[in-house]
Structure 1
Amino acid sequence: MSPGAQQSDGPAAPPLRKDAERNRERIIAAARSVFARDGLSASMASVAREAGVGIATMFRRFPTKEELVDAVFSDRMDAYADAVTLALEDPDPWHGFVGYIETACAMQAADNGFADVLTMTFPTAKVLEQRRNEAYQAMLRLIDRAKATGRLREDFDPSDLVLIHMANAGVVNATGDAAPDAWRRVVALMIQSLEAPARGPLPASPGREPLYKAMLRVGQGATTPPPGKSS
């Protein structure tokens, strides 16, 4: 390479790095807006349009939708995990348990994308899944504490929290801005059904493993475009 070429290449590199970082930030901001409005079914192309970048730029920054989901929702998952920690610090375990459910469901209602995230799993989204697993371990302690008070029904299973999030996400997505507070009534009904003494026995829990498979299947459906269509 000639000295002239070295001289012209040197100054050009830093602006390219800055441009790349700006594009990344624009894409994340756009994805937050698009996913919050349309959920995770929104396409990568729609995010690129919102960000004002080409689809090639989009895929250079985020080769897969799971990587974009990881970047967009890591802070939301941090807040979700913090809600569990706060619930554990409540001197009244039942109050802490109820407060956690209300907070998590409110987070779903405020963001259609996050409503979907809590009902799916994304194995390659390492940061997101690590925080989810940390929150799950804390929730196990929260459930045990609430049961120890005698306020939470004994047959409540940790997998029931996943069902609550799935039910809430369905209500949020179905009612939208036509009845934006409908989820509050549904959550209140669910909470009342959890309090001891139980009004009757429950059907068997599906268990964590089958629900994980369901969350994985739904997550794959949200991040993989249908045949013949681009993401």
Structure 2
Amino acid sequence: MTESEPGLRADAERNRERIMVAARRLYAAEGLGVSLAAVAREAGVGKATVARRFATRDDLVTAVFSDRMDAYAAATADALADPDPWHGFTRFLEAVCAMQAADRGFADVLTRTFPAAKGLEARRAEAYDGFLELITRAKATGHLRADFVAEDLVLVLMANAGVIAATGDAAPGSWRRVVGHLIRGFATPGAPLLPLADPPAPPALYRAMVRLSRPATFSGSRDVR
């Protein structure tokens, strides 16, 4: 071992951390469409450095979102531990949709699959299996509709991701009201429900609509392939 090797390892670890911090920041703000070249620029390193630390985009996504996928699986476990399965079910939907709202990249992760990211997909499968059990328990209370199926969760996450992307920072709390309406659609008559979140103020919703009507622009951070 040469004297320079510990220093080289320390530099490599610092670069890896810088890349992950940059990717986390860009993904949270813009979603997974951010290019590896943009991550390199944000991190202040060359593209070759990113490639040495993360051979593929899936490798980078796995590293950045592994802790959030852990939190997703933990949310399922927390919901199953709730003595009231219906409350656990509604709390889970609200918690996961809140995770999406806090991070556009994670909103994308929850509505896509990454076959090469074995660790990420294992946690997704764990959460899915827990959710199947949660559905069964919630239906047993009589409060969850009999025709609710696990695939409806994917539709909820897709719908929520779309609302988050559309409203952006113009009407950032809008997703809460949408999720509240969805939960009402899943509930049987008489099921206990929390009050709906307030609707977005008309000026805020108008700003979101104006933003959507503008032609898409590319700052160079997103892939256009």
TMscore range, shorter length:
0.7 to 0.9
1: CA distance, partners of 2:99 / 2:224? 29
List per-residue Cα deviations over 1:103-161 (Å, max 9, x = no partner): 00000000000011110010111111110000000000000000011100000010000
Query: Which of the two has greater helix per residue?
Result: 1
2: CA distance, partners of 1:29 / 1:133? 26
2: CA distance, partners of 1:28 / 1:130? 21
| Corresponding residue number in structure 2 for 1:168 | 160
2: CA distance, partners of 1:111 / 1:156? 27
Q: Which runs of 5+ in 2 are unaligned?
A: 191-222
From 193, 204, 208, the equivalent of 2:185 is 193
| Corresponding residue number in structure 2 for 1:122 | 114
Q: Do structure 1's residue 153 and structure 2's residue 153 form an aligned pair?
A: no
Higher mean C-alpha deviation, range 12-21 or range 146-155: 12-21
Give the fraction of aligned pairs with identical amino acids, expressed as a percent.
Answer: 63
| Corresponding residue number in structure 2 for 1:3 | none
- 4+ residue runs over 2 A deviation: none
List per-residue Cα deviations over 1:53-90 (Å, max 9, x = no partner): 10110111111111100000000010011111000000
1:226 Cα offset (Å) = 5.1
Larger Cα Rg: Structure 1 or Structure 2? 1
| Aligned residues between the structures | 194
1: CA distance, partners of 2:119 / 2:12? 22
Q: Which runs of 5+ in 1 are unaligned?
A: 1-8, 199-224
Q: Do structure 1's residue 42 and structure 2's residue 34 form an aligned pair?
A: yes
Secondary structure (helix, strand or coil) at the match of 2:111 reads: coil
Secondary structure (helix, strand or coil) at the match of 2:169 reads: helix
Give TM-score scaled by structure 1 length.
Answer: 0.81
| Corresponding residue number in structure 2 for 1:59 | 51
Q: Do structure 1's residue 19 and structure 2's residue 50 form an aligned pair?
A: no
Give TM-score scaled by structure 2 length.
Answer: 0.84
1: CA distance, partners of 2:96 / 2:18? 27
